[in-house]
Structure 1
Amino acid sequence: MQRAVERDLGAPPTPFGQWGRDRRDQRELRVRGLRRILVGAAAVPVMLVAAGCSSDSGSEDKAADSSTKSSASPSESPSPTVQAAVYKSLPEPCKVLAKKTLEDLVPEAKSGKKGTSDDASTRGSCSWSSLDSNGVKGSQFRWLSVSMLRFESDVTRGSGAKLAQDYFETQVQDARSVSGAKNTKSEPVAGVGDEATAVRYDLKKKEGSFKQETVVARAENVVVTLDYNGAGFAGEKAPSADTLNKLAQKAAKEVVAAVAKQNGGGDAGTPSSAPSKSASKSPSKSPSKSASSSPSKSAAKKS
């Protein structure tokens, strides 16, 4: 009976007890193997999770480090700025002086001659010529020129006021160094713009001896150059340098006030203590006996 059972079960020809133990051992081996597989399989997700956590942690650390570096890095430099120019336009150059003033300086002038300009808001000039002829008793000649130059602020060059100050200083220096000038003197002028300088000298020409007065003034970002000269012809004595100087300074102050008024202002400021250079370059050509040409080079070119 036992053998029949063993054959039916397909067991080897061994005692039943031994076969059972072998089967049990095999089951235990299979169970142990399955446990090892399950344990190994369970370990894989744990490792993956651990690896994932480690990876995420590294990413977060890098992100945090990047954020820290970003916040610690200096911000972008702001765009450069420059102070805006105060004066935006210029007055009509032939109308900057009152009629009474013109009568004092150039009594025989009928009208002013406006200089050419490619931009009236940036530069302008006007000149007047006067010849008071007394026939054989001689004649008195006067010539007056006013020029204005306005500077805009520029981020690469500087503010309009600073550019005007540089030009002002150049103009004064030019007026002091006119070729052929004698007895050159210069002095600061009070109460005319932010800064002003008057330069006087004598200039000998074939038509006669000229007395030249140049007043250079700066009001904010505008430079005004006023040239005034006179001479006596045909035996007439030369005009007084002091008188010409006084008239020139009065006229320059009036022009500066006209610039301020044009831009909605009243008082054009007080002079500063800064030194200056000058706009009048050299006295212009002396007039012919008919007084058709102007004697000063200085202001005529500045328009």
Structure 2
Amino acid sequence: MQRRVERDQRAKRLNRVLVCAAAVPVMLVAAGCSSDSGSGDSTDKAAKAAASASSSPSPTVQAAAYDKLPEPCKALSKKTLKDLVPKSKSGKEGKSDDISTRASCSWDSLDNNGVKGSQFRWLNVSMLRFESDVARGPADKLAQAYYEKQVQEAQAAEGAKGVKSEPVAGTGDQATAVHYDLKKKEGTFKQQTIVARVENVVVTLDYNGAGLAGEKTPDEGDLLKDAKKAVKEAVDAVSTANGKGGGTADGAPSGAASESSKPSKSPSKSASKEASDESSKDASASPSKKPASKS
């Protein structure tokens, strides 16, 4: 009888141990589920954050208004060239890796009057076009910065005497004329530099004249008047080449106008970079340095 009681007591203790042992896995499973749930929430939050970042719009900048330039040696009408450089037979186009980004043309004229001396004229038109850049800003703002730099360089030209500046109305979005004298052994050169900006293109026109070997020095006012007429034509040629209207100052279509109907090749990124890089350097046909080299 006593042994039976002892066996019953041992059986009860064994049942309690088994019940407790069975409860342990349940607690572990519950803890594990709780841990997995927290990990899942964290993963979901990370996924949502990544999705939100990927859906954010990329930075943008306003596109450039003009995407090409006119042929530089056809930017001025024949009548204007005859008035400014009457003895010039043709223009000399400047070297450029991409004429849709940078272009220039120059003309020489020497009217030899024998023992009475000679009248010399030199004309240069250069154009630089800028592309919009997300990092650097819109094209017209880049062009404006370069425009201001060109004006400052003209005003600080080496050897310039009696420098004067004035705004030029009715030419592009903004234009400034800088004129001065350059005295050299051949005579006094009257220099006219006009810098104009139309949208994302900067046009720099240089025009100088001198009376050589005893010939009379040309009138500064006449040279400036002719230079203003020519730069307006060049600016209009840029607009016409991009289908924006315009035309030459004398009402005749410029060479650039006829070329505007032809399809143009879109400028490459490398060409746009060339223009951006050049904006921080001296222009290849620097207006303030040319008169001395042509005397």
TM-score normalised according to structure 2 size: 0.76
Q: Distance in 2 between matches of 1:58 and 1:267?
A: 74
Give the letter for the 1:210 counterpart. Answer: F
Look up the SS of the partner of 1:38 in the other structure.
helix
Look up the SS of the partner of 2:136 in the other structure.
coil
Instruction: Describe the superposition over 1:119-155 as per-residue Cα deviations: whole angstroms up to 9, x where unpaired.
Output: 2222111111122233334432211101112223334
Asked if 1:262 is matched to 2:268, the reply is no
Which residue, 280, 284, 288 being the options, matches 2:290? 284
Alpha-carbon distance, 1:175 to partner:
0.7
What residue ranges of structure 1 are gaps of 5+ in the alignment? 1-21, 269-277, 287-292, 296-303
Q: Distance in 1 between matches of 2:165 and 2:49?
A: 58
Contact 2:204 2:287 in 1 (8 A): no
Look up the SS of the partner of 1:224 in the other structure.
strand
Which residue, 231, 241, 246 being the options, matches 2:220? 241
Give the letter for the 2:85 counterpart. Answer: V
Which residue, 46, 70, 74 being the options, matches 2:23? 46
Report the counterpart of residue 36 of structure 2 in structure 1.
59
Contact 1:153 1:159 in 2 (8 A): yes
Report the counterpart of residue 34 of structure 1 in structure 2.
11
Contact 2:237 2:246 in 1 (8 A): no
The 5 Å alignment of 1:198-213 reads 198-213=177-192
Report the counterpart of residue 196 of structure 2 in structure 1.
217
Alpha-carbon distance, 1:255 to partner:
1.0
Q: Distance in 1 between matches of 2:3 and 2:221?
A: 135
Asked if 1:253 is matched to 2:235, the reply is no
Give the letter for the 1:192 counterpart. Answer: T
What residue ranges of structure 2 are gaps of 5+ in the alignment? 248-281
Report the counterpart of residue 294 of structure 1 in structure 2.
294
Give the letter for the 1:266 counterpart. Answer: G
Higher CA-based Rg: 1
Q: Distance in 2 between matches of 1:33 and 1:157?
A: 88
Contact 2:169 2:175 in 1 (8 A): yes
The 5 Å alignment of 1:96-107 reads 96-107=75-86
Report the counterpart of residue 140 of structure 1 in structure 2.
119
Which residue, 162, 166, 176 being the options, matches 1:187? 166
Q: Distance in 2 between matches of 1:128 and 1:69?
A: 67
Instruction: Describe the superposition over 1:235-266 as per-residue Cα deviations: whole angstroms up to 9, x where unpaired.
Output: 33222211211211121111112122222222
Give the letter for the 2:115 counterpart. Answer: V
Q: 1:246 to 1:56 in 2, by over 3 A?
A: same
Aligned residues: 257
Contact 2:236 2:246 in 1 (8 A): yes
Q: Distance in 2 between matches of 1:179 and 1:68?
A: 65
Alpha-carbon distance, 1:112 to partner:
0.7
Q: Distance in 2 between matches of 1:139 and 1:267?
A: 36
Contact 1:212 1:283 in 2 (8 A): no
Q: Distance in 2 between matches of 1:35 and 1:191?
A: 110
CA RMSD, Structure 1 to Structure 2 (Å): 2.8
Report the counterpart of residue 124 of structure 1 in structure 2.
103
Give the letter for the 1:39 counterpart. Answer: R
Give the letter for the 1:174 counterpart. Answer: E
Q: Distance in 2 between matches of 1:35 and 1:223?
A: 102
Give the letter for the 1:284 counterpart. Answer: K
TM-score normalised according to structure 1 size: 0.74
Report the counterpart of residue 300 of structure 1 in structure 2.
none
Contact 2:132 2:139 in 1 (8 A): yes
- Percent identity (aligned): 58
Report the counterpart of residue 270 of structure 2 in structure 1.
none
Q: Distance in 2 between matches of 1:141 and 1:72?
A: 71
Alpha-carbon distance, 1:108 to partner:
1.9
